[in-house]
Copies of this chain bind each other. A is one copy, B any other.
Amino acid sequence: MRLTAFTDFGLRALMRMATAPDRSFSTRELASEFSLSRNHLTKIMASLAQAGIIVTRRGGGGGATLARPADQISLGEVVRVLEAGQALVECFAAGGGQCTVVGCCRLKARLRKAEAAFLAELDRSTLASIALPPVSANPLTQS
| A residues apposed to B, CB below 8 Å | 1-5, 7-8, 11-12, 15, 33-35, 75, 79, 83, 86-90, 98-107, 110-111, 113-122, 125, 129-133, 138, 140-141
Contact = CB atoms under 8 A, between A and B. Distances in A.
A88 B33 CA distance: 22
A129 B110 CA distance: 10
The 7 A-B residue pairs with the shortest CB-CB distance, nearest first, are A114-B121, A118-B118, A117-B121, A117-B117, A106-B130, A8-B89, A107-B130
B107 A3 contact: no
Contact of A121 (B1, B5, B12, B113): B113
A129 to B, nearest CB: 7
